Amino acid sequence: MTVIKSHCPYCALQCGMALQHEHEATTVAGDEAFPVNEGALCIKGWTAGALLSHPDRLTTPLVRGARGRLVPSTWEEALDRAARGIRGTQERSGREAVGVLGSGSLTNEKAYLLGKFARVALRTPSIDYNGRFCMSSAAAAATRAFGIDRGLPFPVADIARAEAILLVGANPAETMPPLMRYFQQQREAGGFLAVADPRRTATAETATLHLSLSPGSDAALAYGLLHVLVRDHLVDVDYVRARTEGFEAVRAEAAAHWPGSVERVTGVPQAAIAETAHRLARARSAMVLTARGPEQQSTGVANALAYVNVALALGLPGRADSGFGTLTGQGNGQGGREHGQKTDQLPGYRRIDDPAARAHLARVWDVAEDAIPVAGSSAYEMLDRLGEHGGVRTLLVFGTNPAVSAPRAFHVQERLSRLETLVVADFFLSETAALADVVLPAAQWAEEDGTTTTIEGRVVRRRRAALPPPGVRTDVDILCGLADALGEGRRFRFAGAAEVFEELREATRGGVADYAGITWDRIDREGGVFWPCPSADHPGTPRLFGDGFPTPSGRARFHAVRPAASAETPDAAFPLHLTTGRLLAHYQSGTQTRRVADLVGQAPEAIVEVHPLLARRHGLSEGDRVRLATRRGWAEFRVRLALGLRPDTVFVPFHWGGLGSANRLTNPALDPVSRMPEFKVCAARLERAAPVPVEV
């Protein structure tokens, strides 16, 4: 049997896989030659082959019939129905009334093509993607501070050599277990690891120090650290002078954050704050790493910038085995935010309001510059107004499931049901696809070629190991077919993803995320290429910032952000913090992982983690059913007692829909800069669940 090297369909670590396909089944092994995971996979990766032959696979297009039910159709009928819906809406309500929602799970080629489809075939500004719910705060902070947004500006292997690390709001032991090898090596070499998280997670268990901060107090903790650095003369003054700007205003703000007051706000003892600051400052190499904990908040950009301030004060970005980074979540969360799915962005991480960027893309796409739309609304703002006058009335969804993954999900479901036409391309009938008027069955990860860009900024190849089932098309084919059905096929004549990538190279040439020097052949030869890579003879860029920052001054920028309260804080009616996150066995909205028996066996149903003291106050025991209510509504969960959680906080994973949906509860308050919803903190109360009726 031929072994095909590819990469995992799930998270941004993009573990290397060796795939073999025989007798309708695909077996998965870890690729020992891929340096990131060296053969290791987590249980999601090991079991990913089950997705390909799953009996729930969609293998024929579906259209909503006269009786309101989804019924099988031909591709011609389905594409025609979608095209008629698009045309009708645009004729009645304008081009912007057709919207597109993409995904950080799409390959670079698909993300690029989806952005082009929206701007060229639909000529709508109404496109955004689910990375708005994931990476937008980190991206905005990095762009402001460093002039470039590459989640990790160094390879993950550097983690093992850092003498001290502060990890904020990340739980890689569950979300990307093979990454833990680097933290383990770091600890075995005598390194210091502090983990800031309201939960004592599996990652926090491995740390030297667990900083159990109160949800929403992330920026306050960063300023507590900065205060100690300034007070104890631990700031890298030479670095700050030579390589940064804006420190004085940050120093003035930090002066107000005495460790005693920070302890009262965060719950983290002063001694732990001081020890963390000193250990980071004394280390020859150190890192500050953040993830969704501080970022998925209505203050997410300010929170991320507060930790950038800590890293800059320590002189870390650009130093060997050191730096500031953010752990990207979705499979192509990095590449997915570079190539034009974001409403304010054109390929190559160009701004859509930059005249030079518009002129460049107009040449590549062979359109008039003024035919390229301007920016539209962010993902939640688009979803919030679906079906309204002035809002999107026909929506195309590729690779995402907003009926489960959007905040205030019940409201979003109601909005989805108001659309004139909802078109969803997916490989399973997700909760969103079940509401659609047209469902287009799409090929999966191991059935098509393409590239993704990993957590490190390394562009790698996904390779086809099996043919899609008969009746299933790739997203590239679907988009080109839709463009044809709309009479716009001339600019969408791609024989496959390889041709799309060639156009992407030109589209990104000269941009911040420059892929012009990357080819599929080169990726094959070199095992991946790090962007930026502007020319064929450029070696790629594994490490950034060694000799400057891509800002106008060449310096990194401090930002004197002010810690602010969450949009919603506990009160008498809703006395608890609710925070949300992921479990080891599941991924995102669970469309895939809730269908894999081994994963369901590990985590069969929605749970809420409750501290035993809190459980006792409510008369709850392990395994009880309980109702959790917020100002958005209520949902029901099985109680899991968790000693490592703060007694004022409950934790719910967001992998389920229906009554166990965490996002029925979450707050759609948005960060003013990134438009990131506040998934990570809101006010909640525990209630007894209604007893399940017993049949007699």
Residues making contact with ligand SF4 (CB under 6 A): 8, 10-11, 13-15, 37, 41-42, 44-45, 176-178
CB of 195 to ligand SF4, least distance (A): 18
What is the Cα–Cα distance from 535 to 505, expressed in whole angstroms? 10
CB of 203 to ligand SF4, least distance (A): 13
What is the Cα–Cα distance from 571 to 566, expressed in whole angstroms? 13
CB of 40 to ligand SF4, least distance (A): 8
CB of 167 to ligand SF4, least distance (A): 16
CB of 555 to ligand SF4, least distance (A): 35
Residue number, 272 or 596, with CB nearest to ligand SF4: 596
CB of 8 to ligand SF4, least distance (A): 3
CB of 42 to ligand SF4, least distance (A): 3
* Residues 289 and 327 sit within 8 Å (Cβ to Cβ): yes
Residue number, 186 or 592, with CB nearest to ligand SF4: 592
CB of 45 to ligand SF4, least distance (A): 2
Q: What is the largest CA-CA distance in the chain?
A: 78
CB of 52 to ligand SF4, least distance (A): 15
CB of 320 to ligand SF4, least distance (A): 26
* Residues 95 and 394 sit within 8 Å (Cβ to Cβ): no
Alpha helices for 550-695 (secondary structure H): 597-602, 612-617
What is the Cα–Cα distance from 618 to 626, expressed in whole angstroms? 10
CB of 435 to ligand SF4, least distance (A): 28
Overall size of the chain counted in residues: 696
Hey, CA dihedral for 625, 569, 558, 198, is it positive or negative?
Answer: negative
What is the Cα–Cα distance from 604 to 594, expressed in whole angstroms? 8
CB of 512 to ligand SF4, least distance (A): 25
CB of 283 to ligand SF4, least distance (A): 27
Terminus-to-terminus CA distance in the chain, angstroms? 56
Residue number, 465 or 683, with CB nearest to ligand SF4: 465
Q: Which two tokens stand for residue 36?
A: 């990131």
Q: Which residue has the tokens 């399940």?
A: 692
Quick one: angle between helices 108-116 and 497-508, nearest 10? 70
* Residues 105 and 99 sit within 8 Å (Cβ to Cβ): no
Tell me the chain's radius of gyration from C-alpha atoms: 24
* Residues 136 and 292 sit within 8 Å (Cβ to Cβ): no
Residue number, 335 or 481, with CB nearest to ligand SF4: 335
Closest CA to 174 of 586, 578, 453: 586
Alpha helices for 23-107 (secondary structure H): 43-46, 75-93
The secondary structure element, H or E, covering residue 686 is: strand 682-688
CB of 30 to ligand SF4, least distance (A): 8
Q: Using CB atoms within 10 Å of the CB of residue 324, give its burial: 0 to 12 exposed, 13 to 18 middle, 19+ buried.
A: buried
Q: Which two tokens stand for residue 119?
A: 């701007």
**How many CA atoms lie less than 13 Å away from 642 in the CB half-sphere?**
21
Q: Which residue has the tokens 């052949």?
A: 521
Angle value at C-alpha 593, between 21 and 665, nearest 5 degrees: 160
What is the Cα–Cα distance from 313 to 238, expressed in whole angstroms? 10
Q: Which two tokens stand for residue 56?
A: 């729930």
CB of 401 to ligand SF4, least distance (A): 17
Residues ≥6 apart with Cβ < 8 Å to 449: 461, 462, 463, 464, 496, 497, 498
Residue number, 11 or 379, with CB nearest to ligand SF4: 11
Q: Which two tokens stand for residue 544?
A: 């950034």
* Residues 332 and 323 sit within 8 Å (Cβ to Cβ): no
Alpha helices for 557-627 (secondary structure H): 597-602, 612-617
What is the Cα–Cα distance from 615 to 626, expressed in whole angstroms? 10
What is the Cα–Cα distance from 181 to 68, expressed in whole angstroms? 51
Residue number, 178 or 528, with CB nearest to ligand SF4: 178
Residue number, 49 or 668, with CB nearest to ligand SF4: 49
Angle value at C-alpha 89, between 88 and 91, nearest 5 degrees: 65
Angle value at C-alpha 372, between 369 and 377, nearest 5 degrees: 145
Residue number, 589 or 649, with CB nearest to ligand SF4: 589
* Residues 608 and 628 sit within 8 Å (Cβ to Cβ): yes
Residue number, 50 or 98, with CB nearest to ligand SF4: 50
CB of 14 to ligand SF4, least distance (A): 5
CB of 331 to ligand SF4, least distance (A): 7
User: Closest CB to ligand SF4 belongs to which residue?
Assistant: 45
Residue number, 111 or 599, with CB nearest to ligand SF4: 599
Angle value at C-alpha 308, between 304 and 309, nearest 5 degrees: 115
Burial per residue of 507-526, b for 16 or more beta-carbon CB atoms within 10 angstroms, e otherwise: bbbebbbbbbbbbbeebeee
What is the Cα–Cα distance from 129 to 102, expressed in whole angstroms? 4
